[in-house]
Amino acid sequence: MRTQVAIIGAGPAGLLLGQLLHKHGIDNVILERQTGEYVLSRIRAGVIEKVCIDLIDEAGVGARMHQDGLIHDGVQICVDGVRHRISFKDLTGKSVMVYGQTEITKDLMDGRAAIGAPTVYAAYDVALHNIFGETPHVTYRADGKNHELQCDFIAGCDGFHGISRKSVPPNAITAHERVYPLGWLGVLSDTPPVSEELIYVHHPLGFALCSMRSPTRSRYYIQCSLAEDVEAWPDERFWEELKPRLDDEARERLVTGPSIEKSIAPLRSFVAEPMRFGRLFLAGDAAHIVPPTGAKGLNLAASDVRYLSHAFIEHYKEKSNAGLDRYSERALARVWKAERFSWWMTMLLHKISDNTFEQKMQLAELDYLFRSKAASTAFAENYVGLPY
């Protein structure tokens, strides 16, 4: 088999890239290790920036997102039982949208099926060959047979645990990492959200987040230790841990119910540099991870895909490699700013240390954030997404 761009991974980055390339007549094949059902069962991000919305529109799969997505003009931050609101609209003129990653993935999968572009699910033992040569290719196993896919370029969109980044010689890549000693325990439930806007909670018991997927579906997270086992968290225990972290109004409005999904995600900051190796280009979580606090993971994957899709289009349509040559530098400039914001928001809102000086620093910074228009504006600008 031969294609122009071999895409590894059918998460949001791979599917979005495939759809954008197809629109411009660029052939691509996606190889995904999991089944489609498994990919759709992963509950992940919930907040998308305007740039991500625009890209989903550009890919031609935005109809359901505009119908069901919830526009949020601001966010609430609750500090030790007192809630404060930061208005994105007033401070930046922009908003964000609450629309789950699962729905985006489904829209992209449906879009891909509609155009008949090939995706190989349950593709095992994917291996990348000759990435620094003129004729890269990818081998894999599917339906009990060995396959070889020849291509011009490989897009590594296979997430943090994927094979693409690991295929690069160690001396060609530099990793920057920070692992936080905590995780998020998340619950999805078919209960109405406590508030019309997201509430990020700073509390002596630990961080919490009240989010949502729709007016009848809530997503809650509480900070937990990395040693926690999700099996040790029956629903009742989760709600009992969440309640004392909320303000009185939210506590009164909280409707509990059975969880329909429960999982633990570790918190990590990670960046691999560069993002291009010969004919291999990394995009999304394959190249970088942010702790989820700033809701940036999915949005960063989309911004990489924007740069990379434009670069491929330039290569095939205008016979120019300028975009491909600048891809890594341009993507990383945006990545590092989102890494900074996610790290800052994580350190600000979680119970990280028993050191009372550090706790006082958090409270002083939060007080400044709420009182200073400059500080709130900086927060809002980053949350809604920095310009390209």
Residues 62, 100, 206, 284: which binds ligand FAD (CB under 6 A)?
A: 284
Site membership for ligand DHB, residue 78 (CB under 6 A): no
Q: How many CB atoms lie within 10 A of CB 71?
A: 12
Asked if 334 is part of the footprint of ligand DHB (rule: CB under 6 A), the reply reads no
Which of helix, strand or coil describes residue 134?
Answer: coil
By CB under 6 A, tell whether 195 contacts ligand FAD.
no
Query: Of these, 14, 18, 46, 62, which contacts ligand DHB (CB under 6 A)?
Result: 46
Which helix (H) or strand (E) is 21 found in, with range?
helix 12-23
How many angstroms separate the most distant Cα atoms in the chain?
63
By CB under 6 A, name the one of 22, 219, 245, 279 that touches ligand DHB.
219
Q: Tokens 């806007």: give the residue.
A: 197
Note whether 158 binds ligand FAD by CB under 6 A.
yes
52 interface partner picked from ligand DHB, ligand FAD, none, CB below 5 to 8 A per type: none
CB of 42 to ligand FAD, least distance (A): 7
Backbone angles phi, psi at 300, to 5 degrees: -70, -40
| C-alpha span between 241 and 235 (Å, rounded) | 10
Determine if 202 is a binding residue for ligand DHB (CB under 6 A).
Answer: no
Q: Which residue's CB comes closest to ligand DHB?
A: 46
Q: Is 11 in the site for ligand FAD (CB under 6 A)?
A: yes
- If binding is defined by CB under 6 A, does position 45 make contact with ligand FAD? yes
Q: Which helix (H) or strand (E) holds 200?
A: strand 199-202
Does 182 help bind ligand DHB (rule: CB under 6 A)?
no
Q: Does residue 292 touch ligand FAD according to CB under 6 A?
A: yes
CB of 382 to ligand DHB, least distance (A): 12
Which backbone phi and psi does 339 adopt, to 5 degrees? -60, -45
Could you tell me which stretch among 52-60, 77-85, 254-262, 291-299 binds ligand DHB (CB under 6 A)? 291-299
Q: Which helix (H) or strand (E) holds 258?
A: none
Among 211, 269, 303, 346, which residue sits at the site for ligand DHB (rule: CB under 6 A)? 211
Phi, psi of 80 (to 5 degrees): 45, 50
How far is the C-alpha of 205 from the C-alpha of 222, rounded, in Å?
A: 10
**Nearest CA-CA partner of 9 in 332, 274, 284:** 284
CA-closest candidate to residue 83, choices 71, 96, 74, 93: 74
What are the Cα distances from residue 303, in Å, to 11, 179, 263, 298, 370? 14, 24, 27, 9, 29
Is position 13 an interface residue for ligand FAD (rule: CB under 6 A)? Answer: yes
Q: Is 182 in the site for ligand FAD (CB under 6 A)?
A: no
199-202 and 208-214 strand pairing? antiparallel
**Active-site residue numbers?**
72, 200, 292, 296, 383
Q: Which residues bind ligand DHB (CB under 6 A)?
A: 45-47, 198, 209, 211, 219, 292-293, 295
Q: Which residues bind ligand FAD (CB under 6 A)?
A: 8-14, 31-34, 39, 44-46, 101, 123, 126, 157-159, 161-163, 265, 284-285, 292, 295-298, 301
